[in-house]
Amino acid sequence: MAILAVNAGSSSLKFSLHPLKDGQVQPFVLSGNIQGLEPQGSPMMSWAYLGKKHAEPLNVSAGSTSFAAALQGVRALIDRLEAAPDIEAVAHRVVHGGGVFTASVLVTDAVLEKLATFNSLAPLHQPHNLEGIRQFRAAFPQLPQIACFDTAFHATMPEVDYAFALPKALQDQGVRRYGFHGLSYQYIMSVLQERTIRGRGRVVMAHLGNGASLCAALAGNSVATTMGFSALDGLMMGTRSGSLDAGVLLYLMEQGWSYAQMEKLLYKQSGLLGVSGISADMRKLRADGSENAQRAIDQFTHRVIRETGALVACLGGLDALAFSGGIGENDAVLREHVCERLSWLGIRLDAQRNQEATGKEAYAVHAPDSSVEIWVIPTDEGRVAAREAAALLQAQRSVQAAQIA
Protein backbone atom coordinates (compact mmCIF):
# COMPACT_ATOMS: atom_id res chain seq x y z
CA MET A 1 0.00 0.00 0.00
CA ALA A 2 1.02 3.63 -0.47
CA ILE A 3 -0.05 7.23 0.11
CA LEU A 4 -0.35 9.56 -2.87
CA ALA A 5 0.71 13.10 -1.89
CA VAL A 6 -0.62 15.96 -4.00
CA ASN A 7 0.16 19.68 -4.17
CA ALA A 8 -2.21 21.41 -6.59
CA GLY A 9 -1.34 24.95 -7.68
CA SER A 10 -2.66 27.48 -10.17
CA SER A 11 -0.47 26.28 -13.04
CA SER A 12 1.08 23.05 -11.78
CA LEU A 13 0.35 19.80 -10.00
CA LYS A 14 3.06 18.06 -7.99
CA PHE A 15 2.61 14.48 -6.84
CA SER A 16 4.57 11.72 -5.14
CA LEU A 17 3.84 8.13 -4.19
CA HIS A 18 5.08 6.97 -0.78
CA PRO A 19 5.02 3.24 0.06
CA LEU A 20 4.05 2.08 3.54
CA LYS A 21 6.26 -0.48 5.28
CA ASP A 22 5.20 -1.78 8.68
CA GLY A 23 2.96 1.27 8.93
CA GLN A 24 5.83 3.69 8.29
CA VAL A 25 5.94 6.06 5.33
CA GLN A 26 8.93 5.48 3.06
CA PRO A 27 10.67 7.87 0.63
CA PHE A 28 8.77 8.27 -2.63
CA VAL A 29 9.16 5.72 -5.41
CA LEU A 30 7.39 8.02 -7.86
CA SER A 31 7.52 11.81 -8.02
CA GLY A 32 6.23 14.07 -10.73
CA ASN A 33 5.27 17.56 -11.74
CA ILE A 34 2.75 18.71 -14.34
CA GLN A 35 3.40 22.24 -15.61
CA GLY A 36 1.39 24.43 -17.96
CA LEU A 37 -2.06 24.05 -16.40
CA GLU A 38 -2.85 27.77 -16.70
CA PRO A 39 -5.40 28.86 -19.34
CA GLN A 40 -3.96 28.46 -22.85
CA GLY A 41 -1.05 26.56 -21.31
CA SER A 42 0.60 23.47 -22.77
CA PRO A 43 0.47 20.76 -20.08
CA MET A 44 3.65 18.73 -19.77
CA MET A 45 4.11 15.90 -17.29
CA SER A 46 7.57 14.97 -16.05
CA TRP A 47 8.21 12.24 -13.50
CA ALA A 48 10.81 9.97 -12.01
CA TYR A 49 10.11 6.36 -11.12
CA LEU A 50 12.68 4.11 -9.47
CA GLY A 51 15.47 6.47 -10.52
CA LYS A 52 14.48 6.84 -14.18
CA LYS A 53 13.20 10.18 -15.51
CA HIS A 54 10.50 10.64 -18.14
CA ALA A 55 8.48 13.45 -19.72
CA GLU A 56 5.50 13.62 -22.03
CA PRO A 57 2.91 16.20 -23.13
CA LEU A 58 -0.69 15.85 -21.96
CA ASN A 59 -3.55 16.10 -24.40
CA VAL A 60 -6.55 18.16 -23.30
CA SER A 61 -9.67 16.81 -24.98
CA ALA A 62 -12.41 19.09 -26.25
CA GLY A 63 -14.76 20.19 -23.49
CA SER A 64 -12.26 19.21 -20.78
CA THR A 65 -9.85 21.30 -18.70
CA SER A 66 -6.09 21.21 -18.21
CA PHE A 67 -6.57 20.17 -14.60
CA ALA A 68 -8.85 17.29 -15.57
CA ALA A 69 -6.24 16.19 -18.11
CA ALA A 70 -3.57 16.35 -15.42
CA LEU A 71 -5.66 14.20 -13.08
CA GLN A 72 -6.26 11.65 -15.81
CA GLY A 73 -2.55 11.69 -16.59
CA VAL A 74 -1.58 10.93 -13.00
CA ARG A 75 -4.15 8.16 -12.74
CA ALA A 76 -3.09 6.58 -16.03
CA LEU A 77 0.58 6.85 -15.07
CA ILE A 78 0.10 5.02 -11.78
CA ASP A 79 -2.03 2.34 -13.49
CA ARG A 80 0.67 1.55 -16.04
CA LEU A 81 3.69 1.53 -13.74
CA GLU A 82 5.06 -1.92 -13.07
CA ALA A 83 5.09 -2.97 -9.41
CA ALA A 84 3.47 0.30 -8.27
CA PRO A 85 1.83 -0.18 -4.86
CA ASP A 86 -1.92 0.27 -4.41
CA ILE A 87 -3.03 3.67 -3.13
CA GLU A 88 -4.60 3.68 0.34
CA ALA A 89 -5.30 7.43 0.57
CA VAL A 90 -4.57 10.79 -1.06
CA ALA A 91 -2.87 13.45 1.07
CA HIS A 92 -3.33 17.05 -0.07
CA ARG A 93 -1.24 20.03 0.86
CA VAL A 94 -3.61 22.85 1.85
CA VAL A 95 -2.02 26.21 2.60
CA HIS A 96 -4.54 27.66 5.03
CA GLY A 97 -6.42 25.96 7.84
CA GLY A 98 -7.25 29.21 9.63
CA GLY A 99 -7.56 28.91 13.38
CA VAL A 100 -10.00 26.04 12.90
CA PHE A 101 -7.83 23.21 11.54
CA THR A 102 -4.66 22.76 13.59
CA ALA A 103 -4.12 19.14 12.51
CA SER A 104 -4.71 17.10 9.37
CA VAL A 105 -8.33 16.07 8.73
CA LEU A 106 -10.35 13.67 6.62
CA VAL A 107 -12.07 15.75 3.96
CA THR A 108 -15.85 15.94 3.99
CA ASP A 109 -18.26 18.32 2.27
CA ALA A 110 -18.42 20.38 5.46
CA VAL A 111 -14.61 20.56 5.69
CA LEU A 112 -14.36 21.73 2.08
CA GLU A 113 -17.01 24.38 2.65
CA LYS A 114 -15.17 25.74 5.69
CA LEU A 115 -11.78 25.72 3.95
CA ALA A 116 -13.22 27.74 1.07
CA THR A 117 -13.88 30.60 3.51
CA PHE A 118 -10.09 31.03 3.75
CA ASN A 119 -9.61 31.54 0.00
CA SER A 120 -9.09 35.29 0.34
CA LEU A 121 -6.29 34.73 2.87
CA ALA A 122 -4.20 32.77 0.34
CA PRO A 123 -5.63 33.58 -3.11
CA LEU A 124 -2.63 32.19 -5.02
CA HIS A 125 -2.89 28.79 -3.34
CA GLN A 126 -6.07 27.93 -1.42
CA PRO A 127 -8.61 27.84 -4.30
CA HIS A 128 -6.31 25.57 -6.33
CA ASN A 129 -5.56 23.32 -3.34
CA LEU A 130 -9.28 22.82 -2.83
CA GLU A 131 -9.98 22.26 -6.52
CA GLY A 132 -7.36 19.51 -6.43
CA ILE A 133 -9.20 17.84 -3.56
CA ARG A 134 -12.54 18.07 -5.39
CA GLN A 135 -11.07 16.57 -8.55
CA PHE A 136 -9.37 13.69 -6.72
CA ARG A 137 -12.52 12.99 -4.68
CA ALA A 138 -14.44 12.63 -7.92
CA ALA A 139 -11.77 10.47 -9.57
CA PHE A 140 -11.07 8.24 -6.53
CA PRO A 141 -14.36 8.21 -4.57
CA GLN A 142 -13.36 5.05 -2.72
CA LEU A 143 -10.17 6.60 -1.28
CA PRO A 144 -9.93 8.82 1.82
CA GLN A 145 -8.87 12.36 0.90
CA ILE A 146 -6.86 13.99 3.70
CA ALA A 147 -6.08 17.71 4.02
CA CYS A 148 -2.69 18.58 5.54
CA PHE A 149 -2.18 22.22 6.49
CA ASP A 150 0.77 24.58 6.14
CA THR A 151 -0.58 26.61 9.05
CA ALA A 152 -0.83 23.66 11.47
CA PHE A 153 2.88 23.58 12.42
CA HIS A 154 2.57 27.14 13.77
CA ALA A 155 -0.34 26.36 16.10
CA THR A 156 2.18 26.34 18.97
CA MET A 157 3.03 30.03 18.57
CA PRO A 158 2.25 32.06 21.70
CA GLU A 159 -0.37 34.80 21.54
CA VAL A 160 2.28 37.48 22.03
CA ASP A 161 3.64 36.51 18.62
CA TYR A 162 0.49 35.74 16.65
CA ALA A 163 -1.62 38.69 17.85
CA PHE A 164 -1.66 42.00 15.98
CA ALA A 165 -1.88 45.35 17.78
CA LEU A 166 -5.51 45.73 16.69
CA PRO A 167 -8.79 45.72 18.63
CA LYS A 168 -9.45 42.28 20.10
CA ALA A 169 -12.76 42.09 18.25
CA LEU A 170 -10.79 41.72 15.02
CA GLN A 171 -8.61 38.96 16.50
CA ASP A 172 -11.81 37.17 17.54
CA GLN A 173 -12.83 37.29 13.87
CA GLY A 174 -9.60 35.53 12.88
CA VAL A 175 -7.39 38.53 12.07
CA ARG A 176 -4.10 37.24 13.45
CA ARG A 177 -0.77 35.80 12.39
CA TYR A 178 -0.97 32.19 11.17
CA GLY A 179 2.34 31.38 9.47
CA PHE A 180 2.89 29.14 6.46
CA HIS A 181 5.35 26.63 4.91
CA GLY A 182 4.47 24.43 7.87
CA LEU A 183 4.80 21.09 6.07
CA SER A 184 8.28 22.12 4.95
CA TYR A 185 9.28 23.20 8.45
CA GLN A 186 7.89 19.99 9.91
CA TYR A 187 10.11 17.98 7.57
CA ILE A 188 13.22 20.11 8.18
CA MET A 189 12.72 19.84 11.93
CA SER A 190 12.33 16.05 11.78
CA VAL A 191 15.59 15.72 9.84
CA LEU A 192 17.46 18.07 12.17
CA GLN A 193 16.30 16.19 15.24
CA GLU A 194 17.43 12.91 13.67
CA ARG A 195 20.86 14.29 12.74
CA THR A 196 21.86 16.51 15.67
CA ILE A 197 21.04 17.22 19.31
CA ARG A 198 21.02 20.91 18.31
CA GLY A 199 17.74 20.26 16.52
CA ARG A 200 16.07 20.07 19.94
CA GLY A 201 17.32 23.52 20.89
CA ARG A 202 17.01 27.00 19.39
CA VAL A 203 16.59 26.69 15.63
CA VAL A 204 15.93 29.10 12.77
CA MET A 205 14.74 27.47 9.54
CA ALA A 206 14.86 29.38 6.23
CA HIS A 207 12.48 28.21 3.50
CA LEU A 208 13.72 30.35 0.62
CA GLY A 209 12.13 30.02 -2.79
CA ASN A 210 9.55 31.80 -4.89
CA GLY A 211 7.66 31.89 -1.61
CA ALA A 212 10.00 32.63 1.29
CA SER A 213 9.76 32.67 5.06
CA LEU A 214 11.70 32.01 8.26
CA CYS A 215 10.59 30.08 11.32
CA ALA A 216 11.99 30.12 14.85
CA ALA A 217 11.54 26.84 16.71
CA LEU A 218 12.28 25.90 20.31
CA ALA A 219 12.37 22.23 21.32
CA GLY A 220 10.84 21.39 17.95
CA ASN A 221 7.88 23.77 18.24
CA SER A 222 7.24 26.92 16.20
CA VAL A 223 7.38 30.02 18.38
CA ALA A 224 7.64 32.74 15.71
CA THR A 225 7.58 33.06 11.94
CA THR A 226 7.85 35.81 9.34
CA MET A 227 4.65 35.11 7.41
CA GLY A 228 1.47 36.29 9.07
CA PHE A 229 -2.24 36.68 8.33
CA SER A 230 -1.54 35.95 4.68
CA ALA A 231 1.36 34.61 2.65
CA LEU A 232 2.39 38.20 1.84
CA ASP A 233 4.13 39.09 5.10
CA GLY A 234 7.78 38.89 6.08
CA LEU A 235 10.57 38.26 3.60
CA MET A 236 10.80 39.64 0.10
CA MET A 237 9.84 36.83 -2.32
CA GLY A 238 9.84 36.01 -6.02
CA THR A 239 6.87 38.19 -6.92
CA ARG A 240 5.46 39.06 -3.46
CA SER A 241 6.39 42.19 -1.56
CA GLY A 242 6.88 40.80 1.93
CA SER A 243 6.43 43.18 4.87
CA LEU A 244 5.04 46.53 3.82
CA ASP A 245 4.00 49.64 5.70
CA ALA A 246 0.18 49.58 5.71
CA GLY A 247 0.34 53.29 4.98
CA VAL A 248 1.51 52.43 1.45
CA LEU A 249 -1.82 50.72 0.79
CA LEU A 250 -3.74 53.65 2.26
CA TYR A 251 -1.79 55.93 -0.06
CA LEU A 252 -2.55 53.76 -3.10
CA MET A 253 -6.23 53.72 -2.18
CA GLU A 254 -6.16 57.50 -1.96
CA GLN A 255 -4.63 57.54 -5.43
CA GLY A 256 -7.55 55.52 -6.73
CA TRP A 257 -6.04 52.05 -6.90
CA SER A 258 -8.65 49.26 -6.86
CA TYR A 259 -8.53 46.09 -4.76
CA ALA A 260 -7.68 44.07 -7.86
CA GLN A 261 -4.81 46.39 -8.78
CA MET A 262 -3.32 46.23 -5.29
CA GLU A 263 -3.69 42.45 -5.10
CA LYS A 264 -1.90 42.07 -8.43
CA LEU A 265 0.86 44.45 -7.31
CA LEU A 266 1.49 42.71 -3.98
CA TYR A 267 1.22 39.10 -5.14
CA LYS A 268 2.50 39.13 -8.73
CA GLN A 269 4.46 42.31 -9.52
CA SER A 270 6.69 42.86 -6.48
CA GLY A 271 9.58 41.02 -4.84
CA LEU A 272 12.59 40.02 -6.94
CA LEU A 273 10.62 40.63 -10.13
CA GLY A 274 9.39 44.07 -9.12
CA VAL A 275 12.71 45.35 -7.78
CA SER A 276 14.81 44.00 -10.66
CA GLY A 277 12.33 44.49 -13.48
CA ILE A 278 13.95 41.36 -14.94
CA SER A 279 12.87 38.11 -13.32
CA ALA A 280 11.54 36.43 -10.18
CA ASP A 281 14.13 33.65 -10.65
CA MET A 282 17.24 34.10 -8.49
CA ARG A 283 19.29 32.02 -10.95
CA LYS A 284 18.49 34.42 -13.79
CA LEU A 285 19.32 37.41 -11.62
CA ARG A 286 22.70 35.91 -10.64
CA ALA A 287 23.49 35.34 -14.31
CA ASP A 288 22.26 38.77 -15.43
CA GLY A 289 24.91 40.81 -13.66
CA SER A 290 23.13 44.14 -14.12
CA GLU A 291 22.80 46.80 -11.45
CA ASN A 292 19.06 46.20 -11.16
CA ALA A 293 19.55 42.45 -10.76
CA GLN A 294 22.15 42.99 -8.03
CA ARG A 295 19.89 45.48 -6.25
CA ALA A 296 17.16 42.83 -6.02
CA ILE A 297 19.60 40.17 -4.79
CA ASP A 298 21.03 42.51 -2.16
CA GLN A 299 17.59 43.47 -0.92
CA PHE A 300 16.46 39.84 -0.70
CA THR A 301 19.62 38.88 1.21
CA HIS A 302 19.29 41.84 3.57
CA ARG A 303 15.75 40.88 4.50
CA VAL A 304 16.83 37.32 5.31
CA ILE A 305 19.60 38.66 7.56
CA ARG A 306 17.39 41.24 9.25
CA GLU A 307 14.53 38.83 9.99
CA THR A 308 16.92 36.10 11.16
CA GLY A 309 18.32 38.53 13.71
CA ALA A 310 14.81 39.27 14.98
CA LEU A 311 14.01 35.57 15.38
CA VAL A 312 17.30 34.92 17.17
CA ALA A 313 16.32 37.64 19.63
CA CYS A 314 12.98 35.88 20.21
CA LEU A 315 14.83 32.61 20.88
CA GLY A 316 17.48 34.17 23.11
CA GLY A 317 20.28 32.71 21.01
CA LEU A 318 20.83 30.17 18.25
CA ASP A 319 21.93 26.53 18.14
CA ALA A 320 21.21 25.66 14.50
CA LEU A 321 20.38 27.39 11.22
CA ALA A 322 18.85 25.39 8.34
CA PHE A 323 18.44 26.46 4.70
CA SER A 324 15.83 24.91 2.41
CA GLY A 325 13.66 25.74 -0.61
CA GLY A 326 14.84 26.32 -4.17
CA ILE A 327 17.08 29.27 -3.27
CA GLY A 328 18.12 28.04 0.16
CA GLU A 329 19.16 24.62 -1.14
CA ASN A 330 20.93 25.73 -4.32
CA ASP A 331 22.33 29.24 -3.85
CA ALA A 332 25.69 28.83 -2.10
CA VAL A 333 26.49 32.53 -2.52
CA LEU A 334 23.39 33.59 -0.61
CA ARG A 335 24.19 31.17 2.23
CA GLU A 336 27.72 32.57 2.37
CA HIS A 337 26.57 36.19 2.53
CA VAL A 338 23.91 35.47 5.16
CA CYS A 339 26.37 33.61 7.37
CA GLU A 340 29.02 36.33 6.98
CA ARG A 341 26.58 38.96 8.23
CA LEU A 342 25.57 36.72 11.13
CA SER A 343 29.14 35.98 12.19
CA TRP A 344 28.54 37.96 15.40
CA LEU A 345 26.58 34.90 16.56
CA GLY A 346 29.71 32.78 16.27
CA ILE A 347 28.58 31.36 12.92
CA ARG A 348 31.44 30.02 10.80
CA LEU A 349 30.78 28.52 7.39
CA ASP A 350 32.94 25.82 5.82
CA ALA A 351 33.41 27.26 2.31
CA GLN A 352 34.13 23.93 0.63
CA ARG A 353 31.21 22.09 2.23
CA ASN A 354 28.95 25.02 1.37
CA GLN A 355 29.85 24.59 -2.32
CA GLU A 356 29.33 20.81 -2.08
CA ALA A 357 25.89 20.99 -0.46
CA THR A 358 23.73 21.18 -3.60
CA GLY A 359 22.08 17.87 -4.35
CA LYS A 360 22.84 16.33 -0.96
CA GLU A 361 20.00 14.86 1.13
CA ALA A 362 20.94 16.78 4.29
CA TYR A 363 24.36 18.36 4.60
CA ALA A 364 26.14 20.18 7.42
CA VAL A 365 28.10 23.18 6.12
CA HIS A 366 29.44 24.71 9.34
CA ALA A 367 33.14 24.90 10.17
CA PRO A 368 34.49 22.94 13.17
CA ASP A 369 34.84 26.13 15.24
CA SER A 370 31.31 27.39 14.52
CA SER A 371 29.17 28.08 17.59
CA VAL A 372 26.08 27.43 15.47
CA GLU A 373 25.43 24.39 13.30
CA ILE A 374 24.47 25.24 9.71
CA TRP A 375 22.55 22.76 7.58
CA VAL A 376 21.25 22.56 4.02
CA ILE A 377 18.18 20.32 3.97
CA PRO A 378 16.15 19.74 0.79
CA THR A 379 12.55 19.77 1.92
CA ASP A 380 9.96 17.06 1.23
CA GLU A 381 6.47 18.37 1.90
CA GLY A 382 4.93 15.37 0.17
CA ARG A 383 6.50 12.94 2.61
CA VAL A 384 5.20 14.94 5.57
CA ALA A 385 1.69 14.99 4.08
CA ALA A 386 1.91 11.22 3.54
CA ARG A 387 3.02 10.73 7.17
CA GLU A 388 0.13 12.85 8.37
CA ALA A 389 -2.34 10.85 6.30
CA ALA A 390 -0.96 7.50 7.48
CA ALA A 391 -1.09 8.60 11.12
CA LEU A 392 -4.68 9.81 10.78
CA LEU A 393 -5.80 6.56 9.15
CA GLN A 394 -4.06 4.50 11.84
CA ALA A 395 -5.73 6.54 14.58
CA GLN A 396 -9.12 5.98 12.97
CA ARG A 397 -8.50 2.24 12.74
CA SER A 398 -7.51 2.16 16.42
CA VAL A 399 -10.71 3.95 17.40
CA GLN A 400 -12.83 1.58 15.29
CA ALA A 401 -11.09 -1.46 16.78
CA ALA A 402 -11.72 -0.17 20.30
CA GLN A 403 -15.40 0.41 19.51
CA ILE A 404 -15.77 -3.13 18.17
CA ALA A 405 -14.01 -4.58 21.22
Tell me which of 109, 150, 288, 369 is the catalytic residue: 150
Q: Is 245 a catalytic residue?
A: no
Task: Supply the DSSP symbol for 352.
Answer: H
How far apart are alpha carbons 373 and 255 in whole angstroms? Answer: 49
How many other C-beta atoms are found inside a 10 Å radius of the C-beta of residue 150?
A: 28
Residues placed in the known binding site for substrate: 93
Residues placed in the known binding site for Mg(2+): 7, 381
Per-residue pLDDT at 37: 78
Based on the number of CB atoms within 10 Å of its own CB, is 39 exposed (0-12), middle (13-18) or buried (19 or more)? exposed
Per-residue pLDDT at 83: 67
> pLDDT, tens digit, for every residue of 162-198?
999 999 999 998 999 999 999 999 999 999 999 999 9
Q: Roughly what angle, to the nearest 10 degrees, separates helices 259-268 and 246-254? A: 140
How far apart are alpha carbons 117 and 107 in whole angstroms? Answer: 15
Sign of CA dihedral 214, 218, 222, 226: negative
Q: Which domains does the chain have, with CATH numbers?
A: 2-177 (3.30.420.40)
DSSP 376-396: E----HHHHHHHHHHHHHHHH
How far apart are alpha carbons 217 and 228 in whole angstroms? Answer: 16
Per-residue pLDDT at 256: 98
Please give the distance of CA 331 from its chain centroid, rounded to a whole number. 18
Residues placed in the known binding site for ATP: 14, 207-211, 281-283, 326-330
Per-residue pLDDT at 78: 82
Which residues are within 8 A (CB) of 110 and not within 5 positions of it... i.e. 6 or more apart?
none
Residues placed in the known binding site: 7, 14, 93, 207-211, 281-283, 326-330, 381
Please indicate, yes or no, whether the overall pTM of this predicted structure exceeds 0.85. yes
User: Which residue positions in the chain have pLDDT lower than 70?
Assistant: 82-83, 405
Per-residue pLDDT at 192: 97
